[in-house]
Structure 1
Amino acid sequence: MKSKLLKLTAGSTLMIALFMQSCTKEAPSAFTTQENFTNNTLIRVYVATVNADRNYVYVDGKPLNGAKLITGGLFPATGIYASSVSPGLKNFVVRDTLTATTQVPLSFAENMLVNKYYTVFLYDSINAPKQKTVATNIVIPADTSARIRFANFVHTKVGIPAIDIFSVRKNANVATNLQVTDVTDFIPYPSDITDTFYVRTAGSGTNLFNFTAAPANVPTNIQSIFTPRPKRSYTLVFRGSYTHNITTQAQLRQLSVFTDR
């Protein structure tokens, strides 16, 4: 009888533990955030996955982000900081912790080199999530210029044309023929001067538009307006659903910007 009782207790404890794990909403990050490498690897995560509502990232089974990440979310959110992990082959899992979720978990492995900085771009949809991990090669300039790179992680179920990024201040394209999942290198850029960046269909010379709701149907530029600061690095990301071009639609296609350092 005692043996049966012990087995029942152990089994109940295991079931409760599994239930609690599946219902976990938020857990504090097991990793520190910092600006410098200190013989480790730095990681940022950007969520371009459409309809993402509760993304949690785990590295070797440990939670990376404490608060949930939604579409357009960045972790760490604080401008110049990244999560510090030990170098080596790392196993990642991205999932929604709700038991009733329709999001498909995403598992992948990346070899993280010591004293390197990486950005993990999550993209596509919650039904078919994907990722692309790229090196974030930060160069702190000797002068007061900034650095900017460009990425295309817009979602579509069919093939779409590549894009150009046009600078109003330069009156020229600053990135050309960006296919989906392309991420450019950083380029030097003047600081402390506000610029407007437009998304264009590659080679067209014409801005790509969203539209206000009917009956007005007023075209609006897909743009990002910001002022690069001295010695800072930024990423501009074309994201959202490519077919969502009405400004009242969820997952509207847009050009977002975040600070890398």
Structure 2
Amino acid sequence: MKKIFNCITILLSAIVIGISSCNKDEVNLIDENNKWIYLDSSNSANIKIIQCFAGNTPQIPTAPNITTGPQVFIYANGKKLNGTALSYGGVFPTTNVYSNIPAGSTRFDIINARLNLSVVPNIPGFIAGDTLATFTATVDKGKYYSFYIGDTVPTVRVSVKEDNFIVPVYQTYKIRVANFLMNPLDTLTLFSVRQNAEIISNITHKNVSDWVQLPLPIISDTLVFRKKGSTAAYVQFNGFSPVGLRMYTLLGRGKTAVTSKTPAAGIIINR
């Protein structure tokens, strides 16, 4: 019996030594590739990106739909920001939060989201000509910015606007207008059906108005964009039900006569 016990002990020791020797040189790939890197929030800026380029070209083979237009990845100092390609009408991040990036002078690249389909999961596979825009912007720590991708077709440019957040008072909300319709001569005025009044006036192409504070409506409002000097509805946003203390941007986007991208209004929640 003692001999059997000794044999078992020797066998188990050999197994343990063998396992230890195997593990000694092995690399835990999960640990190696799943490392959290925390951004220093005391030295970061906050950005939101809005894709309102109303062109149907350039296209990429991975999205061969003639009404799609560019779908883009955004890079900040060579670091990819968005996981899913940002297409027309898209906002990153999608909720009312902002993305944090290191503060300071930053190079941004807007690149058509071509993928290498031979690799699973797919990874970016850019070729010459896929970079649609490159620019440098200085973003200050603690501040908030909106980046609007758009201009006049076929040129892709980015407008950077600082977002100053002064919190609305109780039982009110704030709203502003961002005019990124790709019709340069369209100057917008915002009319509230519920208040029966113009609340923001004469916002020209690629400009953003100041915030306007308004009381919460008892029932939903209809917000109407009018062209300067006209009382006719140009485009409108129906069923607007704001929440107290929040801040909204009513975005004008699109271009006349472009398939699937005619002028429209959309709401962005900034706070």
Q: 2:101 aligns with which of 63, 67, 85?
A: 85
Amino acid at match of 1:47: Q
Aligned counterpart, 1:55: 72
In 1, the alpha carbon distance for the partners of 2:204 and 2:37 equals: 33
Query: Is 2:174–2:211's contact at 8 Å kept on the other side of the alignment?
Result: yes
Q: Per the alignment, in what secondary structure is the counterpart of residue 161 of structure 1?
A: coil
Aligned counterpart, 1:73: 90
In 1, the alpha carbon distance for the partners of 2:37 and 2:210 equals: 27
Following superposition, the deviation at residue 259 of structure 1 comes to 0.4
Amino acid at match of 1:160: L
Q: Deviations over 1:57-108 (max 9, x none)?
A: 10000011111101110000022x1111121101100111325797651001
In 1, the alpha carbon distance for the partners of 2:85 and 2:201 equals: 34
Aligned residues: 210
Following superposition, the deviation at residue 232 of structure 1 comes to 0.8
Q: How has the CA–CA distance of structure 1 residues 103 and 180 changed in structure 2, closer, same or farther, with 3 Å as cutoff? A: farther
Work out whether 1:164 is the aligned partner of 2:189.
yes
Q: Deviations over 1:159-215 (max 9, x none)?
A: 52312111101111111111110101111122364211111111212222xxxxxxx
Aligned counterpart, 2:63: none
1:31-50 pair list within 5 angstroms: 38-50=42-54
Query: Is 2:194–2:217's contact at 8 Å kept on the other side of the alignment?
Result: no
Amino acid at match of 1:63: K
Work out whether 1:201 is the aligned partner of 2:227.
yes
Note the residue ranges of structure 1 that are not aligned, 5 or more in a row. 1-29, 209-220
Q: How has the CA–CA distance of structure 1 residues 83 and 239 changed in structure 2, closer, same or farther, with 3 Å as cutoff? A: same
Q: TM-score, normalised by structure 2?
A: 0.71
Q: 2:263 aligns with which of 228, 253, 258?
A: 253
1:112-131 pair list within 5 angstroms: 112-124=139-151, 127-131=154-158
Aligned counterpart, 2:245: 231
Query: Is 1:239–1:254's contact at 8 Å kept on the other side of the alignment?
Result: yes
In 2, the alpha carbon distance for the partners of 1:31 and 1:153 equals: 35
Amino acid at match of 1:251: K
Q: TM-score, normalised by structure 1?
A: 0.73
Query: Is 2:85–2:113's contact at 8 Å kept on the other side of the alignment?
Result: no
Q: How has the CA–CA distance of structure 1 residues 128 and 137 changed in structure 2, closer, same or farther, with 3 Å as cutoff? A: same
In 2, the alpha carbon distance for the partners of 1:128 and 1:105 equals: 9
Q: Deviations over 1:110-156 (max 9, x none)?
A: 11111100000111367310111011111223423111110110113
Q: Per the alignment, in what secondary structure is the counterpart of residue 261 of structure 2?
A: coil
Query: Is 1:224–1:256's contact at 8 Å kept on the other side of the alignment?
Result: no
